[in-house]
Amino acid sequence: MSFSNKKEVGFCPDCDSRIKLKSPRLGQKVTCHACGTVLEIIGTSPVELDWAFDEGLDFDELATKLEDKKDRNAQREEKDFDLF
Ligand SMILES: [Zn+2]
């Protein structure tokens, strides 16, 4: 047991892997090396990790909107084509 190494250790809530953090900050995003889950630091003493859902949801929403727009454009093009 040595305290000379100041690395903090958190645990992945998904697979319980140890995740070493050099300088954990609240809200920092880390990726679990074992399962690839994106986690957010929700506590620093002790280190607590939780799933970082926010970013993923925003991205999905954006992707869905973009796809909707693409679909609508495609439908309009088809309609235009039928007129000719
Ligand atoms: Zn994990």
Contact, 37 vs 31, CB < 8 A? yes
pTM, full prediction: 0.57
Q: Indicate if 76 and 65 belong to the same structural domain.
A: yes
In a domain, 36, yes or no: yes
In a domain, 1, yes or no: no
Alpha carbons 74 and 84: distance in angstroms, whole number: 16
Q: Which residue has the tokens 């190494």?
A: 5
Q: How far is the CA of 29 from the centre of ligand 1 (A)?
A: 13
Over residues 36-53, the mean pLDDT reads 94
Q: Indicate if 19 and 44 belong to the same structural domain.
A: yes
Q: Indicate if 45 and 58 belong to the same structural domain.
A: no
Residues with CB under 5 A from ligand 1 (ion): 12, 14-15, 17, 32, 34-35, 37
Q: Indicate if 11 and 31 belong to the same structural domain.
A: yes
Q: How far is the CA of 37 from the centre of ligand 1 (A)?
A: 6
Count of structural domains within the chain: 2
Q: How far is the CA of 8 from the centre of ligand 1 (A)?
A: 16
Instruction: Give me the helices (H) in the chain, please.
Output: 53-83
Over residues 39-43, the mean pLDDT reads 96
Alpha carbons 3 and 37: distance in angstroms, whole number: 29
Q: Indicate if 47 and 79 belong to the same structural domain.
A: no
Q: Decide if pLDDT at 84 tops 70.
A: no
pLDDT at 4: 46
Q: How far is the CA of 82 from the centre of ligand 1 (A)?
A: 52
Q: Indicate if 16 and 46 belong to the same structural domain.
A: yes
